Structure 1
């Protein structure tokens, strides 16, 4: 077996299951799963109809590069979403099987562990999406973490030493951020671009939550930021997905956009990797990227949840609506996020994810400790009831 597999750590949800072993929820209470970021809103009709009407095309092998119509739909969406940003659909767009698969395989494509005998470095935010770490380790690389401290929850680049920067091949950004919902501003992009100019790494920007934002405050994307700062997209790649935008996590559809040379090599890798998207899924994806009303409705549903849940939680917690995403990154006053999660499960059948499971220990500690991630994916009534229960249980503890 590949010995690098031994470096992989259990996924956060596996760690949660292990931590909850032997702990039972109260009988007669339906569990409320707020620990997994799995969208529960209805899949839009425009997607299901396009999928159903193209099932006959399952008889054809799809191309890894995808249909020209899909690449054009993705480029058109970028132009509409990012203030007229122009992307070439033939060289700067590549359909992928969701952002998770693409992030993993892209890191494998870029890392080259034999260049100078030292391990290539990938820098990741912390807390982070564990795919970043797994792809780095299995690619023979070394991962370093930039903690994301309160209140901005953006990576602290100053914590990375000069020696590490010199070996860095990829810097991963996640904006809107999972789990905090923070969004990088133009000046934040300018800071990381300056570091890129100095050290020559590739930027991989995970933007799968970009369409869940509030009060019309659209998050700026990496390609948009680069264009506004007069930069090309050299060394810059964004990853996005329909899973959260269109409530189709099971469709496994997204795309990568950016540096044409990087995507040319990424396509070569994927041709061998066997990751071509089926034609019916491509047809459904075209319909999704071309339709905006269902996305607007989706945002309204999340806005309603935050509007109702945040005031309830504020009765006992210092909490605010995130800049974007459907997560609440809730600070636990006594700091014990795991005990808090266990109590919610044992006394109310509410599942949340301890923040420590989403982060790694560093010299300055585990930045996830003392927080829990709450995913507002259940229906409005369930989210409101869960918030009321959380406040009530915390009040009982502190009374």
Structure 2
């Protein structure tokens, strides 16, 4: 199958779909954007000065894999956060945002055949859309695993047919989960890693929301894999400054994993990658080393959790997120609710089905809307109160 044929039935990305749904209608009030997960809290105020101090770096080609001091700062952060010790030059690759890494890891590491058959890439459903496109790009079969209230909002890997697991090359998993805010426990990671060892597949752990949480820090996949003594190539983790530090435009992330996996990703990066400019690498190095602004940011989100819990406390089916900054609200029909909100109030949210695929006639998230709690508190409270009156107080 050619590349265009693979993508011929691919639905539009979530936000173009949303624009087609809403933009032919006038908003019913002052627009309040609660769709995209673009943090709007303040980032550290010294960042501008750092860019200015390193302006000369724009006159040089960036170091392709990330300069050693940046990789060391990222390794030091992993050691502080998860107690995992990694070699910066062998176990970490700096990324231009995690989406690049989540895609290219599949390109670099998915085999053409697994046990003599077409490989399978497992993905949660709903999910971050790059997982499925990566699977299509390498000619793998994407298998969508329901991540619903019945499964604890995370995929139940133990329910998969062993024959499917034997064909599996890669399993994507997001914890804390987008959009549900569920957190994989240490026991959950143990089960998944054990299955991956038994059936010889890799785990790509998307952990970009790991620093926004209510109570205890979410455990990490590498943390558990190291404790279990798993194959060093078994788990690849992906992290970003976008949510942790309110810097989505900096495009600084990294992946960490076994030296063979990282070497193969570096080889692909040498031909097709998009490294971070040197002044921005200098900024990222300092941001990864600073925790004060992260604690302040987390406190702001904890206050938002409390606001949401107060507003939706008596709404049937409401469950506040364990982590991350999305609400995953129950409605009879997500697309109809989204259109109603926009036309009657100007509040803009995302239908849950736009983040999912239909499997056996069922689309997880069709009865949900995703609401991003990224605006400042007063605007967020106004948006949530307006949403509640329009959808639940009827």
TM-score range, shorter chain: over 0.9
- Give, in whole Å, the separation in 2 of the partners of 1:390 and 1:69: 46
Q: TM-score, normalised by structure 2?
A: 0.95
Shift of 1:300: 1.0
Aligned twin of 1:382: 379
Shift of 1:295: 0.6
Aligned twin of 1:344: 341
* Structure 1 pair 42–8 and aligned structure 2 pair: CA distance change class (3 A): same
Aligned twin of 1:142: 141
Aligned twin of 2:296: 297
Show the 5 A alignment for 1:1-399: 2-3=3-4, 4-26=6-28, 29-82=29-82, 84-113=83-112, 118-150=117-149, 152-215=152-215, 217-332=216-331, 335-363=332-360, 365-397=362-394
CA contact (8 A) 2:172 2:206 kept: yes
- Give, in whole Å, the separation in 1 of the partners of 2:101 and 2:296: 27
CA contact (8 A) 1:47 1:287 kept: no
May I ask how many residue pairs the two structures share in their alignment? 391
1:189-223 Cα offsets, whole Å, 9 max, x none, are 111112111210011000000010113x1000101
Identify unmatched segments of 5+ residues in structure 1: none
- Give, in whole Å, the separation in 1 of the partners of 2:297 and 2:98: 20
Mean alpha-carbon deviation: is it higher for 121-130 or for 134-143? 134-143
Q: TM-score, normalised by structure 1?
A: 0.94
CA contact (8 A) 2:176 2:323 kept: yes
* Structure 1 pair 301–115 and aligned structure 2 pair: CA distance change class (3 A): closer
Q: Any runs of at least 4 consecutive aligned residues in structure 1 with deviations exceeding 6 A, and if so which?
A: none
1:75-110 Cα offsets, whole Å, 9 max, x none, are 11111111x321111101110101011101111111
- RMSD value over aligned CA atoms? 1.7
